[in-house]
Amino acid sequence: MIQFEWPWIFILIPLPWLMRIFLPAVAPREDAALRVPFMEEFGEATSGTRPIKIGRAILWIALLAWILLVLASTRPQWLGDPIVLPVSGRNLMLAVDLSGSMEVEDFELNGKMVNRLLATQAVAGAFIERRIGDRLGLILFGRQAYLQTPLTFDRETVQTLLYEAVIGLAGQETAIGDAIGLAVKRLRKNDDGQRVLILLTDGANTAGEVEPLKAADLAAAESLKIYTIGIGADEMTVRSLFGSRKVNPSRDLDEKTLTAIAEKTGGRYFRARDTTEFLQIYQVLDELEPIEQEKQLFRPSRALFPWPLGGAFVIAGILLLSRSFTRRSRDS
């Protein structure tokens, strides 16, 4: 069906007729009249009815152009058949750590060792793709926290911006408290539905203005549930000039604080030591936060205003060309 976004503009259709009635006509200038001899013969040559018919035709064509212009101004739209969309009523924000330690290559992906950010992007990207019906947002944090994507149903945009994130974009340090505080601030504006934050980090809070536990208290007061995920292997082999040795690349991971944050807000703490555990964590999150709860109707729309607008321009161009042709004919 066709729907007009601004139907009240139709009241402008009789505007040219009203202007013709209420505005005084411009009197012809007598000093510009052409005085020629043999006036009687000139009058006989131009006394036919064709100019009158041509003038009326031009008037009706101009009126058609005006109607098409008004029609385009009402913003006509073609509405398609209703589509049922699953809507969970959940506002879900992802906070991803971009500090310098995320470049440690202790994850295996497709048979190749990759850094922690690439593993996070691969697993979290698939998680985002499955979250049909959730409003999703993305926070990137390092020394400072930034809102990369506000809450939206556009999962593709959130996924793309996550893939485009690079290590060090927000600084080399880790501001966990600021990331939680920013999530609370953004989700507070959307008090309809459940609010969830999934925070991924591989370290401890080393920057920012807000302490993580104080931010967790604020989140709990705002009914924001936080799931924290600690990223990084427990052991990896490092080669040097003196041979190979095993180290713990996750020695700076503050699991105690991450666990406390989750417990204060009614969430859970997860540990991702490899890609397999990473995938299992997001499967558990799918179970803890089921996707579909209710349905919502959506009707796709397509703008139709270019057609009447283009028709009005074409008619206006024809009128201008005919007027120019008429003047040249008179001059010749």
Q: Is 233 helix (H, G, I), strand (E, B) or coil?
A: coil
In degrees, to the nearest 5, what angle opens at C-alpha 197 toward C-alphas 209 and 180?
Answer: 5
Give pLDDT, residue 194.
82
Residues 93 and 65 in one domain: no
The Cα 280–Cα 201 span in angstroms is 17
Residues 284 and 311 in one domain: no
pLDDT, tens digit, for every residue of 222-231?
Answer: 999 999 999 9
Give pLDDT, residue 282.
85
Give pLDDT, residue 245.
67
Residues 199 and 52 in one domain: no
Which tokens is 192 given?
Answer: 């309809």
Residues 126 and 159 in one domain: yes
Give pLDDT, residue 98.
94
Q: What is the mean pLDDT of the chain?
A: 82
Residues 170 and 250 in one domain: yes
Residues 17 and 146 in one domain: no
Q: How many domains does the chain have?
A: 2
Give pLDDT, residue 238.
66
Q: Which helix (H) or strand (E) holds 126?
A: helix 116-130
In degrees, to the nearest 5, what angle opens at C-alpha 259 toward C-alphas 273 and 264?
Answer: 150
Let me know how many helices (H) and strands (E) the chain has, helices first. Answer: 10, 15
CATH, residue 101: 3.40.50.410
Residues 206 and 241 in one domain: yes
Q: Residue by residue, what is the 3-state secondary structure of 53-91?
A: HHHHHHHHHHHHHHHHHHHHHCCEEEECCCEEEEECCEE
Residues 189 and 41 in one domain: no
257 close to 205: Cβ distance less than 8 angstroms: yes
The Cα 223–Cα 304 span in angstroms is 44
Q: Is 28 a domain residue?
A: no
Give pLDDT, residue 295.
59
The Cα 99–Cα 97 span in angstroms is 6
230 close to 258: Cβ distance less than 8 angstroms: yes
Which among 297, 286, 214, 225 is positioned nearest to 257, based on CA atoms?
A: 214
Structure-model confidence comparison of residues 241 and 317, the more confident one = 317
Is the pLDDT at 305 greater than 50, yes or no?
yes
Residues 6 and 154 in one domain: no
Residues in the chain: 332
Q: Is 29 a domain residue?
A: no
User: Other C-beta atoms within 10 Å of 208: how many?
Assistant: 24
- The confidence band for 46, taking pLDDT boundaries of 50, 70 and 90, is very low
Q: Is 160 a domain residue?
A: yes
Domain interval for residue 15: 2-23+35-80+300-331
The Cα 98–Cα 327 span in angstroms is 71
Taking every pair of Cα atoms in the chain, the longest distance, rounded to a whole number of angstroms, is 119
The Cα 141–Cα 201 span in angstroms is 9
Structure-model confidence comparison of residues 332 and 146, the more confident one = 146
Q: Is 187 a domain residue?
A: yes
Is the pLDDT at 49 greater than 50, yes or no?
no
Share above pLDDT 70 across residues of the chain, in percent, rounded to a whole number: 80
Give pLDDT, residue 85.
62
- The confidence band for 54, taking pLDDT boundaries of 50, 70 and 90, is low
pLDDT, tens digit, for every residue of 220-258?
Answer: 999 999 999 999 888 776 666 666 767 777 888 999 999
Q: Is 95 helix (H, G, I), strand (E, B) or coil?
A: strand
Q: Is 30 a domain residue?
A: no
Residues 142 and 201 in one domain: yes
The Cα 66–Cα 20 span in angstroms is 14
Give pLDDT, residue 21.
83
Residues 285 and 325 in one domain: no
pLDDT, tens digit, for every residue of 99-148?
Answer: 998 998 888 888 888 999 999 999 899 889 888 878 899 999 999 999 99
- The confidence band for 322, taking pLDDT boundaries of 50, 70 and 90, is confident
Give pLDDT, residue 329.
66
Residues 120 and 166 in one domain: yes
Among the listed ranges 148-162, 260-274, 306-320, which one has the minimum average pLDDT value?
306-320
Give pLDDT, residue 256.
94
Give pLDDT, residue 25.
65
- The confidence band for 37, taking pLDDT boundaries of 50, 70 and 90, is very low
Q: Is 214 a domain residue?
A: yes
48-55 mean pLDDT: 52
Give pLDDT, residue 321.
82
288-308 mean pLDDT: 73
